[in-house]
Amino acid sequence: MKQTIILLTLFLFLCNHGSAQEKLSLTLGQAQEYALDHNRTLKNASLDIQKAEASRWSTLSTMLPQVNGAVDYANMMGYKLTMMGFDIAMPPYATFSLTTSISLSAAQVIGVQMQNIAAKMSDITLKQTEQQVSNQVKTLYFSALVMEETTVLLDSNLANMKKLLAHTENSVRVGILNQTDADQLAVQIVTVENTINSVKRSLEMIYNALRLQLGISVDTEIELTQQIDELVNVEKATSLLGVQFSSENNFNYQLLKSSVDLSKAQVNMKKWAYAPSLTAYHSYTKKEYFSDEPTMNMTPPNIIGLSLKVPIFSSASRYASLKAAQIDYEKQMNTLADAGEGLVIQHRQLCFNLSSALETYETQKKNIEVNQRIFEDISRKFENGMASSLEVTTAGSGLITAQSNYVQTLLNLVSAQIALEELLQNGN
């Protein structure tokens, strides 16, 4: 019995310990840092950098000496070579050879340059992915807080309406009010309850999306330790409107610029297709005969050679390839110019969006306060018989609408701020 109690206690301890490990309490900054360490998309972007570095070294190694060794064995099954009346033995033999070579061409040099550009693009992509993941976490963190705040507001409205319904039902029983007054409030209560359930389902979807960004199990509980009031910074959002925009700082523009560099390198590679290529090599060979019979060995032990290949005629194929590469380069330049202009226009639009979001936020913040006072005033009058149930229902609906508008405005403000920060490369 004693052993059973000990085992049960140990089991409960392990269960509680396991449960404690499956909960994350995070501030916004901690959530962003956690995502940067565990997000799987980011891990793939990091692997792409390693892959690009490996490809660069693979191309670079073609310009370095190459050494190959070989061992061959041959047996002519007792055959003898007859030459000028003499029989020359052809015994079994093994050949040991070691060849060192080095090749150099303009295509190899440009190939290394192109791999360097590809590695740079992988690094830019990683930074861009880090920014996107960080912004996704920020958006989801705010969305979760807003939905939780919405639930609190609706629960408060529901409690007030249930209180009014109880008062109305008492008034109906004593004949002061009609049953329709109570029915109207009951319908509105059900509507609010349905809205609360819908918000809770949406909240769970947001948490699941946040779990995906954090790279954690769907069973892990997340606790957000900051409140909306701590994170909504109107002054910081307003200050973004005065930040000078530069296309050079934008990751998308940097990637396009690197693509232009790649196209230019392609043009240079096609030009150098007309240039010669040089190969130098040294070969050491040793033959070992497995017989004491005299034989003839005509294989030199050392050979040094140079090979120069000069392209002469290709039926204009090289010219056509060069022309196509030049056209692609020109197209990339046009795309880059359009992107630069487009980013300037996008910056202006995002500034307009943020300005509008700030103005709407201030308006809706006041609107929710006004509707809250109206609802409270109508509720007091209703309890004192000075207002109808229709007026209460209307005031309640107005408050819920004001709360919904405020919540949506808050999300719009955060989204507008994040979009402008991302364009400006301005930290989270």
pLDDT at 361: 92
Cβ contact 199:147 at 8 Å: yes
**What is the band of 223 on the pLDDT scale with cuts at 50, 70, 90?**
very high
Query: In this predicted model, which residue has the larger pLDDT, 137 or 427?
Result: 137
Tokens of residue 425, six digits: 């490369």
Q: Which tens digits make up the pLDDT trace of 61-83?
A: 888 889 999 999 988 887 777 77
pLDDT at 221: 92
pLDDT at 426: 60
**Range in 191-200, 297-306, 340-349 with the lowest mean pLDDT:** 297-306
Query: How far apart (Å, rounded) are the C-alpha atoms in residues 374 and 403?
Result: 13
Cβ contact 131:422 at 8 Å: yes
Cβ contact 284:302 at 8 Å: yes
What stretch of H or E contains 284?
strand 277-289
Q: Which tens digits make up the pLDDT trace of 391-404?
A: 877 888 888 888 88
Query: How far apart (Å, rounded) are the C-alpha atoms in residues 68 and 359?
Result: 73
**What is the band of 304 on the pLDDT scale with cuts at 50, 70, 90?**
very high
Cβ contact 428:32 at 8 Å: yes
pLDDT at 259: 93
* Residue ranges in 174-273 assigned as alpha helix (H): 179-214, 228-231, 234-240, 251-271
pLDDT at 354: 95
Q: pTM higher than 0.85 for the full model?
A: no
SS3 content of the chain, % helix, strand, coil (to 5): 70, 15, 15
